[in-house]
A and B are shown apart, each in its own frame.
Chain A
Amino acid sequence: MTFLSDRVNRIPPSGIRVFFDLVLSSKGIISLGVGEPDFLTPWNIRDEAIYRVEKGFTTYTSNKGLEELRGAISHYLKQQFSIAYDKHEILITSGVSEAVDLVFRSFINPNDEIILPEPSYVCYRPLIDLCDGKAVPLDTSLTDFIPRASDIEALVTKNTKAILLSYPNNPTGQSIPPSEVSKIADIAVKHNLLIITDEIYADLSFDSFQSIASIPNMKNHIIYLNGFSKAHSMTGWRIGYVCANEEYIEAMNKIHQYSALCAPTLSQYAAVEACQNSSDEVQKMRQSYLERARYFTKMMNDVGLTTIMPSGGLYCFTSIQSLSMSSLSFAEKLLKEYQVAVVPGNVFGESGEGYFRACIATDFNELKIAAKKIQEFVTEHD
């Protein structure tokens, strides 16, 4: 007999856990398996939090989050991405992670289908499953990791509820070109589907980025997610947000008020500062990621490991198909023989098999050593 619920028992054990534990317990390795920036949170943001601690800003905020922060985000989205959400249309959450969970719980009925282009970030599938929804994967590996509107449309059934987009993508680093973005929007309207778009890496785009949420007259179809973890180097602060029309926000707030009450107060004050006074810092970090992404991409392509230059974010997604071994055995061998850790691509869905993800937010000297070791690995195993 188990006390555990059927629901939690249904979440499959992660096959990759053993490898992850091996990495976590290994000493003296260079890890490109990291999932966060290598810059500290800019000092002005940390200083704002210290000030708020000193002054005793330590109570709950309203459920939806500080009005000041929602106003600052509204302004920031307008400036940065031409996205128009009023402060009533924004809900502050504990990271984008909470926002993803809220969206699924608020919009998925049992058997609803969510079209999910893969490879993709790992949290969507299990959270969709918990809501008894069905993730319908779209393999993007044959289209340079860019989901085509026509391929999405081919998966639409009478049960389809939503299309989930997450670009610039974790793990592939790719973004959808603007022409394709508008075609996807058209499909959502035509088939009356919701678009859930997680744009947590958008502010780390190396080229200009067009958000699907910037297309006019789409508000009833769009749930927009973003946060401060990546672009502002604020992973531990746990601040994200979801934007949508007021009806949707109120619905999500019904759950959020009971399950979270409010996002961490001090972090919310810090996030106000992040919105208002850190564009120079973010620009410096973005430039540094760009340089390192170019470097790593070049080093991999030089030894025949095809890598498409990412259009933003913290990762390169590299093909190991020329080596005829699985992602997992590549990652295991690389760790054992060369003391370099990467994330095997199959973690991000079946279509990630044959690839690995490398986090380029790694000190340049270490990135260089790791890239050279991967090159040696290829020479030896070719």
Chain B
Amino acid sequence: MNLIQNQILELLKKNARYSNGDISNMLNVSESVVETEIQGLIEHGIIRQFTTIINDNNIDDYPIRALVELSIRPEKGTGYDAIAQRIFSYDNVVSHYLVSGKYDFLLVVEGSDHKDIAHFVFDKLATIENVKSTTTHFIFKSYKEHGVLMEEAASSSRLAILP
């Protein structure tokens, strides 16, 4: 990746709603360069999606989430990947990582309520032959997502004018 692509990514990571014009002014390159670079990043699969970070702590009836640890017996030849596919293909698996440590897969699973998630884990995940065991941690509260605090910390306000 070149410097401009890097800087564009850093800006979009902070705010996906920056217009091409804003980015062009901030990086001192033409708008058409910004346009082409972003298109290139999308085509190369580096930018996968423009999305929104939501603080769901205080939204009623919002889907709840759990972290699910899975111990896996890998398959000869295809290793973890083939099994992973059987798991991440479910829409309610919102993140899926292969990790080092005591277990192998770490998932973020979404569901309408506790029962919904429990049902998914017992019925869909635990029953997969290569899944040796599962541990589920329901998320009670989110403090920070993708580098963003869910609640603005109180801090002193700056003097509006000072030479």
A binds B: yes
Q: How many residues of B contact A (CB 8 A)?
A: 18
Contact: B162 with A34, CB < 8 Å?
yes
Q: Which of B111-163 contact A (CB under 8 A)?
A: 155-156, 158-163
Identify which of B24-32, B45-53, B60-68, B100-108 touches chain A. B24-32
Contact: A294 with B28, CB < 8 Å?
yes
Contact: B11 with A291, CB < 8 Å?
yes
Mask of A348-382 contacts with B, CB within 8 angstroms, 1/0: 10000000010000001000100000000000000
Q: Which residue of chain A is the closest to B155 with respect to CB atoms? A: A40
Cβ of B28: which chain A residues have Cβ within 8 Å of it? 294, 298
Q: Is A161 an interface residue (CB 8 A)?
A: no
Q: Which residue of chain A is the closest to B19 with respect to CB atoms? A: A368
Contact: B162 with A35, CB < 8 Å?
yes
Select one of A16, A29, A295 contacting B26, CB under 8 A.
A295
Contact: A34 with B161, CB < 8 Å?
yes
Contact: A24 with B163, CB < 8 Å?
no
Contact: B159 with A35, CB < 8 Å?
yes
Contact: A122 with B163, CB < 8 Å?
yes
CB distance from B21 to the nearest CB of A (A): 10
CB distance from B69 to the nearest CB of A (A): 29
Select one of A26, A34, A364, A368 contacting B158, CB under 8 A.
A34
Cβ of A368: which chain B residues have Cβ within 8 Å of it? 22
Contact: A343 with B155, CB < 8 Å?
no
Contact: A294 with B160, CB < 8 Å?
no
Contact: B160 with A34, CB < 8 Å?
yes
User: Please, how many angstroms separate the alpha-carbon atoms of A122 and B22 in the complex?
Assistant: 33
Contact: A24 with B159, CB < 8 Å?
yes
Select one of B25, B156, B163 contacting A299, CB under 8 A.
B25
Select one of B15, B22, B26, B162 contacting A36, CB under 8 A.
B162
Mask of A161-181 contacts with B, CB within 8 angstroms, 1/0: 000000000010000000000
Q: Which of B4-26 contact A (CB under 8 A)?
A: 7, 10-11, 15, 18, 22, 25-26
A-B residue pair count with CB separations less than 8 angstroms = 59
Mask of A127-144 contacts with B, CB within 8 angstroms, 1/0: 000000000000000000
Known A40-B155, A368-B22; contact A291-B160, beta-carbon cutoff 8 A:
no
Contact: A23 with B163, CB < 8 Å?
no
User: Please, how many angstroms separate the alpha-carbon atoms of A20 and B158 in the complex?
Assistant: 14
Contact: A34 with B159, CB < 8 Å?
yes
User: Please, how many angstroms separate the alpha-carbon atoms of A162 and B64 in the complex?
Assistant: 67
Cβ of B25: which chain A residues have Cβ within 8 Å of it? 294-295, 298-299
User: Please, how many angstroms separate the alpha-carbon atoms of A29 and B159 in the complex?
Assistant: 13
CB distance from A349 to the nearest CB of B (A): 11
Q: Which residue of chain B is the closest to A335 with respect to CB atoms? A: B161
**Best-buried of B10, B11, B28, B163 by chain A (most CB within 10 Å):** B163
Q: Which residue of chain A is the closest to B11 with respect to CB atoms? A: A291
Known A40-B155, A364-B15; contact A295-B160, beta-carbon cutoff 8 A:
no
User: Please, how many angstroms separate the alpha-carbon atoms of A40 and B10 in the complex?
Assistant: 19
Contact: A31 with B160, CB < 8 Å?
yes
Mask of A296-338 contacts with B, CB within 8 angstroms, 1/0: 0011000000000000000000000000000000000000000
CB distance from B155 to the nearest CB of A (A): 6
Contact: B22 with A295, CB < 8 Å?
yes
Q: Which residue of chain A is the closest to B161 with respect to CB atoms? A: A33
Cβ of B27: which chain A residues have Cβ within 8 Å of it? 291, 294
Q: Which residue of chain A is the closest to B163 with respect to CB atoms? A: A122
Mask of A262-297 contacts with B, CB within 8 angstroms, 1/0: 000000000000000000000000010001101100
Select one of B26, B156, B161, B162 contacting A294, CB under 8 A.
B26
Q: Which residue of chain A is the closest to B28 with respect to CB atoms? A: A294
Known A40-B155, A291-B11, A364-B15; contact A24-B26, beta-carbon cutoff 8 A:
no
Cβ of A153: which chain B residues have Cβ within 8 Å of it? none
Contact: A29 with B160, CB < 8 Å?
yes
**Interface residues, chain A, with chain B CB atoms under 8 Å away:** 16, 20, 23-24, 26, 29, 31, 33-36, 38, 40, 121-122, 171, 236, 287, 291-292, 294-295, 298-299, 341, 343, 347-348, 357, 364, 368
Besides A33-B160, A38-B158, 18 other A-B contacts (C-beta < 8 A): A33-B161, A34-B160, A34-B161, A34-B162, A40-B155, A287-B7, A292-B26, A294-B26, A295-B22, A295-B26, A298-B25, A299-B25, A341-B160, A341-B161, A343-B161, A348-B163, A357-B163, A364-B15
In the complex, 12 of the A-B residue pairs with CB atoms within 8 angstroms, ordered by the A residue number, are A26-B160, A33-B160, A33-B161, A34-B158, A34-B159, A36-B162, A40-B155, A171-B163, A291-B11, A292-B26, A341-B160, A341-B161
